[in-house]
Structure 1
Amino acid sequence: MNLRQLKYFVKIVEQRSMSRASVELHVAQSALSLQISSLETRMGQKLLVRSSTGVSPTVAGQTLYKHAVAILRQVERAAHDVERSAADVSGSASLGLPVVLQDLLAIDLLVAARTRLPQVRLHLAEGMSYLLKEMVLQGRLDMTVTYQFEPSPGIVEHPLFNEMIYLVSPVKSGIKPREGGLSIAEVAQYPLFLSSRQTGMRRLVQAGLAAHGVTVQALAEVDSLRTLLDAVETGNAHTILPASALQKHLKSQANSSVVINSLNITRNAVLCTSEHLPLGATATAVYELLENLIQQALEDGRWIGIRPVPDAPST
């Protein structure tokens, strides 16, 4: 197995067509077929299936595809690191950000990267935490910010900050901000719109309720942050959101269109990288820049309801 075969294989899977891959690679179809045949012989597995709708990977092919993408990315990164000047970080780096963290981190990071790392092309990917972590494992992202809930095999987590969780209520509901907030058990009495069950936020809420022997049936499951806030502002439901999603409302509570009460649960944000794919020099520079930005924001007290991750209790 060699890099050329992996490159050809990846392109065929992505194009889902031998002929389209041939055009993209500027390689004759017969040469592609020969290389794939050799690869299948080496692996002892059928990797591709041809049908009337195109070419698709077998189960073994899907496994190889994930590894091949990561290998090719790592080779490209290694070549770039060797070529780059030690005094001038350049190249591309990619970072995943869950939608809920876009307002908190995206603009500050983009501005800082433009100023401090002008030769770096930073790609920000938006999505659900579990999908972004999968992309890190596949080598499609260098790193992602997500939330700590349970260990993920192959993922290394570095703590970033701890944030409070809030019940967000319509003004016309009559609920008032309560000093000391509410208990998670109290939210069961309110009509709730919540994020879907696979999200970290929903799992955290369910775990908090279960710890108090309480269950709740969401009136609707909505993954759009904007829609959740719109539903509250228009008086249709309550919702539960983290501090990172509510900074504008928390900083202007006197004029806010919603009522916010803290709950007795928090969660940790973490920066995730692959255990098996070390960061290149460019991605490491972005990693350190993000860490510095967050540390400075915490020291300046710029964020409400967000603090350093508490030290683990000694044993």
Structure 2
Amino acid sequence: MDKRKIEYFFSVIEHGNLSSAAQALRVSQPTLSRQIQAIEEEFQTPLFVRGGRGMMPTEAGKQLHEGLQSIERQLRLLKSDVAAVTLEPSGEVAFGIPPSPRGLIAVPLVKKFNAAYPRIMVRIAEETSGQLRDLVANGTLDVAITNTNEPTQGISSQHLGRERMLLVGPASAKLSMRKETSIESLAGLPLILTMRPNSLRLTIETGLGRHGLQPNIRFEANTLPLMTDLVAAGLGYTVLPACGVRALLKQGDISASPIRDLSITWMVARPKTRSLGVAAERFHDMVCEFGRKQIRDGVWEPAS
């Protein structure tokens, strides 16, 4: 397949029919149809289901689309890297961050990176740690923040720092950051936790399981703002990393207490099977330096 065929294939996927795709590409519909047929002959399988409502990709078409997206992105990154040998680095970085450390890391990190490398575009994805790990492994993301509770298949990782996990309750619960809570006490509380197989959920279940206990889960939610909104409304308690509730604690919307012997270690992940481009390598280095700064400032502890 050449670049033109890839462009034609992407356009049909995007528009869902030949007429709209042909119009966007400024080619005739018969020309586009012949090109799509040529691609299907090349791969010896139907790539679209043709019907009255347009053209939908078959499973083979979806697989080809996913693979070509990765290839097309690598070609764009290669072009930027070649230019970066003699010019100021440009191109793009795909960065992923979980909801909890977003407030602590995302804005100051991206702001500093943009000041240092204004010609590099940063694409940011906010997902759970497990989803980010998978996106790094399949090449969709270059760099992501994840944690040691997630499997590391397909990624290379480096520790950034460790912080306490907190029991988070409504302001009326009057939890104190100066008084620890045992993990066993969580079993007697109505909990608002993430859905399985989220690593945070599994960590709580495993910790209680060591004492023969089970969590009393009243609500499941996978977004941090919703979880903390439910807590602030007095509907239960949750467990979150300290960095995820710093602002809410300062505002007095919630109260929190460190859970004894329960912490999270943040990591920076990169693909295991491919090297990073110049732009992504610079971003990865800045993430590592950001982690070292959090340790120097006493926000995080060194990861053991």
TM-score where L is the length of structure 2: 0.88
Q: Which residue of 2 aligns with 1:313?
A: none
Q: CA deviation at 1:84?
A: 2.9
Q: Which residue of 1 aligns with 2:303?
A: 309
- Count of aligned positions: 304
SS of residue in 2 equivalent to 1:165: strand
SS of residue in 2 equivalent to 1:218: strand
Contact kept, 8 Å, 2:84 with 2:278, in 1: the verdict is no
Q: Which residue of 2 aligns with 1:189?
A: 188
Q: How do 1:281-296 and structure 2 match up within 5 A? A: 281-296=278-293
2: CA distance between counterparts of 1:84 and 1:2? Answer: 25
Question: Residues 131 and 35 from structure 1, CA distance in 2 versus in 1: closer, same or farther, beyond 3 angstroms?
Answer: farther
Q: CA deviation at 1:274?
A: 2.6
Q: Which residue of 2 aligns with 1:27?
A: 27
Q: How do 1:197-216 and structure 2 match up within 5 A? A: 197-216=196-215
2: CA distance between counterparts of 1:6 and 1:76? Answer: 14
Contact kept, 8 Å, 2:268 with 2:287, in 1: the verdict is no
Aligned partner of 2:47: which letter?
A: L
Runs of at least 5 residues in structure 1 that lack an aligned partner in the other structure: 311-315
Q: Which residue of 2 aligns with 1:220?
A: 219
Aligned partner of 2:287: which letter?
A: L
Q: Higher mean Cα deviation, 63-72 or 130-139?
A: 130-139
Percent of aligned pairs with the same amino acid = 28
Contact kept, 8 Å, 1:168 with 1:258, in 2: the verdict is yes
SS of residue in 2 equivalent to 1:260: strand
TM-score where L is the length of structure 1: 0.85
Contact kept, 8 Å, 1:12 with 1:21, in 2: the verdict is yes
Q: CA deviation at 1:26?
A: 3.0
Contact kept, 8 Å, 1:192 with 1:238, in 2: the verdict is yes
Q: What per-residue deviation string (whole Å, max 9, x for no partner) do you get for residues 130-181 of structure 1?
A: 33344434543322222233435433333222232111123433655564x2
SS of residue in 2 equivalent to 1:192: strand
SS of residue in 1 equivalent to 2:21: helix
Q: CA deviation at 1:85?
A: 4.7
Q: Which residue of 1 aligns with 2:269?
A: 272
Question: Residues 152 and 4 from structure 1, CA distance in 2 versus in 1: closer, same or farther, beyond 3 angstroms?
Answer: farther
Contact kept, 8 Å, 2:145 with 2:269, in 1: the verdict is yes
Q: What per-residue deviation string (whole Å, max 9, x for no partner) do you get for residues 37-58 of structure 1?
A: 2222222222211223332221
